[in-house]
Amino acid sequence: MSSAGGRPPKFPLGLDRVTPAKRAATSAPTTLRPQRPLQEAAAEAQRRSAPTGVGLDSAGVRARMVARLRADGLRCEPVLQALARVPRHLFVDSALVVQAYEDTSLPIGLGQTISKPSVVGRMIELMYASPAVQARGHLGRVLEIGTGCGYQAALLSELATRVVSIERLKPLHDKARDLLAPLRRDNLRLVYGDGRLGHPPSAPYDCIIAAAGGDDLPQAWLDQLAVGGRLVAPMQGGRGGQVLMVVDRHESDWVRQVHEAVHFVPLKSGVA
């Protein structure tokens, strides 16, 4: 399928538009070329898109970021290892690339941001703390709400058997597709659609993670969570600010836990 402007995508990530009329449609997995070693793919992407001479392609730069996150309390080893492998600077605009490994959120356009590494790490750590994930040793099938620039999707693809990532803003969906292309993640599918609807064709999901927060958790997310699955998402708290909400699905109900305060962009309906 052609991308915006008629040019083909660099590799066949899924390009689906999800609307209420299509929620019952089926989605066959796409067969991709074998995945290259991450260092090779990252080096190629670095040559194409990032400024030279800043040393951001060095594993040592990421290792120092991980050491700071560990010192600040992030303890989940699989998450720390993924943060050490995925080159965050490839997902940051060139004017801000020198800040790529600072623990700060950065603008990615259209009023959206790439979240702090500490926040991304914490949310994935909360998913890893699920008893089902602990028993499996990996995240299983994951739905990400809000692809953004694709950085968190790249991390999730290191830790899950399958990732479906949905983005409602077409320019960001296209941007993430282009930024992720050099990494050739064959377990990652990008979807253009309304994140509040989730993605029924690939449900149920073992984990669901959201990068935008609203007053409620959409029922579609709860319905698409597998029994034994865990959802982590920002949500409006009782005092007006956002908190991280963790929801575990059991056979007959959903159990909620409230965690620390966070700040995410608002969760919106529709596509643009």
Catalytic residue numbers, as ranges = 115
CA distance 218 to 229: 16
**99 in helix, strand or coil?**
helix
Encoding tokens for residue 28?
């066959």
Please return the burial class of 71, using the count of CB atoms within 10 Å of its CB with bins 0-12, 13-18 and 19+: exposed
Cα–Cα distances in Å, from 58 out to 146, 157, 159, 165? Answer: 28, 21, 22, 28
Interacting residues of 197 by C-beta distance below 8 A, sequence separation 6+: 18, 20, 23, 218, 220
Q: Comparing C-alpha atoms, which of 61, 225, 239, 2 is closest to residue 127?
A: 225
CA distance 247 to 74: 20
